[in-house]
């Protein structure tokens, strides 16, 4: 065999093997994380998240090579078919999984680590839509570290970082960095749970705040004491005025012009 052809065949075979390995890993990722996924054939034919990531890999490669228009066209057609919009510039790691998918938007400068899961309706978007020209080309979308889960309908906005293993609760709006191995919920997102990365044991971290309503308010206590003192003094003044015969006003005397002035 001609040495050049032999080498070329080997390169092609290596590429095909790598591609098949990646496709197999993608299918296995769906089966690992979607309890409804049954056979491999069903997963391949009916998982929009899988179709979106496959076409994104192609679009991203073309985008990196500077091919004009085509990457956006691929992204656009994919959105039409799957309901998932991934900008070709977004960088996505391995074992990525989008469950259901409809309404997912991933912006141009988003970065996603390995083993990340997104559910339907998730947006990885920009924080502010004013001054668009100044933002062009700048990092403006979130970074999701390895093992992050963003659940249904959550919005993560701006060039913030969601730490490794963090969970973003359904419907949350997150605009600040999220520490690793925590759960964030609400609008705006706040940390409610921390997990030990070694043992996985979870601990509530918002309990003190939750029970604050039951604690005595020290300022209110001081005001209450002062009020009681004033009542005692008023009673005493009234008593003294009563015993002296002609009582002056409790709190005022008149000056030479007849204008009332406060007693000191
Ligand atoms: C965030 C979530 C994953 C739970 O994470 P967790 O670390 O186990 O957190 P916990 O269940 O211990 O919840 C901690 C607190 O946050 C609250 N909380 C949880 N999720 C919340 C949310 N999305 N919004 C507001 N509060 C939420 C809980 O009620 C609890 O507070 P409470 O004790 O005062 O009631 C889960 O609540 C969630 O949002 N799941 C959505 C999953 C999904 O996308 N499903 C659709 C699939 S199709």
208 vs 231: CA distance, rounded Å: 36
Task: Determine the residue of 48, 156, 183 to mutate for testing ligand 1's pocket, defined as the one with the most ligand atoms within 8 A of the Cβ atom.
Answer: 183
Q: Give the pLDDT band (50/70/90) at residue 218.
A: confident
Which carries the bigger pLDDT value, residue 235 or residue 245? 235
Of 64, 48, 51, nearest to 23 by C-alpha is 51
Read off the pLDDT of each residue in 176-180 and give the average, rounded to a whole number. Answer: 98
Q: In which region does residue 246 sit, left (phi positive, over 0), alpha (psi from -120 to 50) or beta (all else)? A: beta
pLDDT value for 261:
42
Measured in angstroms, how far is the CA atom of residue 8 from the centroid of ligand 1? 53
The answer to whether residues 164 and 182 touch, using CB atoms and an 8 Å cutoff, is no
Q: Per-residue pLDDT for 163 more than 90?
A: yes
Q: Does the beta carbon of 152 lie inside 6 Å of ligand 1?
A: yes
Q: What's the whole-number average pLDDT of the chain? A: 89
Q: pLDDT band for position 74 (50/70/90)?
A: very high
| Residue 248: DSSP 8-state | P
- The whole-angstrom separation of Cα 237 and Cα 251 is 10
């Amino acid at each position: 065999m001609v040495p050049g052809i032999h080498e070329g065949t080997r390169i092609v075979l290596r590429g095909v093997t790598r591609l098949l390995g990646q496709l197999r890993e993608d299918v296995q990722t769906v089966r690992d994380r979607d309890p409804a996924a049954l056979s491999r054939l069903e997963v391949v034919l009916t998982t929009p998240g899988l179709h979106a990531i496959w076409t994104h890999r192609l679009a991203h490669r073309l985008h990196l090579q500077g091919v004009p228009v085509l990457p956006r066209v691929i992204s656009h057609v994919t959105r039409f078919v799957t309901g998932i919009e991934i900008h070709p510039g977004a960088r996505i790691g391995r074992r990525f999984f989008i469950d259901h998918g409809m309404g997912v938007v991933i912006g141009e400068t988003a970065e996603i680590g390995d083993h990340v899961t997104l559910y339907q309706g998730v947006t990885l978007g920009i924080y502010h839509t004013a001054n668009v020209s100044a933002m062009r080309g700048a990092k403006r979308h979130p970074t999701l570290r390895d093992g992050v889960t963003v659940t249904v309908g959550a919005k993560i906005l701006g060039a913030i970082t969601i730490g490794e293993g963090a969970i973003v609760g359904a419907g949350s709006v997150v605009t600040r960095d999220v520490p690793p191995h925590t759960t964030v919920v609400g609008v705006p997102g706040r940390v409610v749970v921390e997990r030990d990365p070694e043992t996985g044991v979870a601990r509530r971290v918002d309990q003190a705040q939750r029970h604050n309503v039951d604690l005595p308010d020290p300022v209110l206590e001081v005001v209450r004491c002062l009020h009681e003192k004033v009542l005692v003094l008023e009673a005493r003044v009234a008593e003294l005025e009563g015993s002296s015969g002609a009582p002056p006003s409790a709190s005022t005397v008149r000056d030479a012009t007849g204008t009332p002035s406060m007693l000191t």
